[in-house]
Amino acid sequence: MSTATPASPNTLRDRMVDTIAAAHPLTAAVESALRSVPRHEFVPDATAEQAYADRAVTIKANPAGGLPLSCASVPSLVADMLVWLRAEPGDTVMEIGAGTGWNAALLAHLVGPDGKVVTLDIDEDVTAHARKTLDATGNTAVVVLTRDGALGAPEHGHPDRMIVTVGAWDIPAAWWEQLDPGARLVVPLSWRGQARCLGLERQGGRMVSDVVELCGFVPMLGQDGERTATIDADGLVALHFDADQSIDPAALLGVLGQPKAEDTSGITVRGDESFDGVWLRLSATDPATCRIEADRAAVDSGLCKPAIPSRSPALAEGESLAYLTLTRRETEDGVRFELGAAGHGPAGQRLADRLCDEIRRWDTARDARPTVTLYPAGTTDKQIGSRYVIDKPSIRMAIAY
């Protein structure tokens, strides 16, 4: 039987921050906030060890299953987003998605007594929890509002910073109206089946990114721009695509039963090496880009073997489809995995070749990130210039490498 004394919450918190700081470039202000605000007091149903592990903690499960309705985000991602937000003492910060209240308390620490934090959530259970934990930890000045986050909080003025802690698919008009030039927005935004956290600055009539990083968040309620449909008779393989895309899942039903056309790129990665930049490049260049999701039974039967079964990029056009694949290769440097594509349908080979061409472009600058520029809906092509544009109800999104 172990007689070791359990570590105190303060010790666990310092260990968590030490671990995050070793892998993430924290500012002194963000590190101070993380060391000062007691996360365990915002997740009372979790143990101290769970509270200070680098993982999300659910506070409201989804009765329908799947993603939770609300949770405390992974601490390292919270830290990154706070760094990208660049909040200063005296700032007014608006948070969309109240969560446990922990992030609002961190923001309150960053802006200090002369600043202001307003946090919004549509779920009254979530805001009640946040209000309770904020009050219990001395953060009584934080304003907690129960409302649709898409509306913002115009009665509290124009924020210097806005941070969105739920997954957004669009940028509502109210956010544009409340963010003045020079204001900063950090938001997890989804397009073409993948999500990236964007750090944006309002510059006149547009918002321009200086941060584009992979992320995942509970989706924001009320934004239903992503479509999902299965493309096989047993419902084992699904496509996820955007409302603006001319993808017809009915035309693709049974496409995986057609002969497979394969292409290899000649580009390899190690087993621990990320290749998510391929998807990002596809989304910035090819209007057919979407996400394919294959159930384990589909993979085991050989029906569909995407690089990552749960989430891989694909190209869907008319009655044809191609998706990213991985093939194990034994090399002089050990095991590596070659990126390639599998295509089905009349244009399957052409789509597979197109996907491999983008893999090769990614290989020339693997760490490159595009600049994402957001414009209000109605901005003309002439005003945007010759860049690839994705249209959503409230924004026009230009992506350029």
Q: What is the pLDDT of residue 128?
A: 96
Looking at this protein, which amino acid is placed at residue 39?
R
Which residue, among 52, 56, 72, has the nearest Cα to 6 in the 3D structure?
A: 52
In order along its 401 residues, the chain shows pLDDT tens digits of 455 577 999 999 999 999 999 999 999 999 999 999 999 999 988 999 999 998 888 765 555 544 444 567 899 999 999 999 999 999 999 999 999 999 999 999 999 999 999 999 999 999 999 999 999 999 999 999 999 999 999 999 999 999 999 999 999 999 999 999 999 999 999 999 999 999 999 999 999 999 999 887 777 776 678 999 999 999 999 999 999 999 999 999 999 999 999 999 999 999 899 999 999 999 999 999 999 999 999 999 999 999 999 999 999 999 999 999 999 998 888 899 999 999 999 999 999 999 999 999 999 999 999 999 999 999 999 999 878 899 999 999 999 99
Q: How would you class 276 by CB atoms within 10 Å of its CB: exposed for 0-12, middle for 13-18, buried for 19 or more?
A: middle
CA 252 to chain centre: 27
Q: How far is CA 112 from CA 29, 31, 56, 115, in A?
A: 11, 15, 26, 5
Looking at this protein, which amino acid is placed at residue 374?
L
**Whole-prediction pTM:** 0.92
Looking at this protein, which amino acid is placed at residue 213?
E
Give the number of other CB atoms < 10 A from CB of residue 1. Answer: 2
Rounded CA gap, 146 and 153, in Å? 11
pLDDT by residue (tens digit) across 364-383? 999 999 999 999 999 999 99
Rounded CA gap, 368 and 364, in Å? 9
Rounded CA gap, 19 and 22, in Å? 5
So which residues are the catalytic ones?
Answer: 73
Which residue, among 48, 18, 51, has the nearest Cα to 35 in the 3D structure?
A: 18
pLDDT by residue (tens digit) across 272-305? 999 999 999 999 999 999 999 999 999 999 999 9
Looking at this protein, which amino acid is placed at residue 99?
G
Q: What is the pLDDT of residue 332?
A: 82
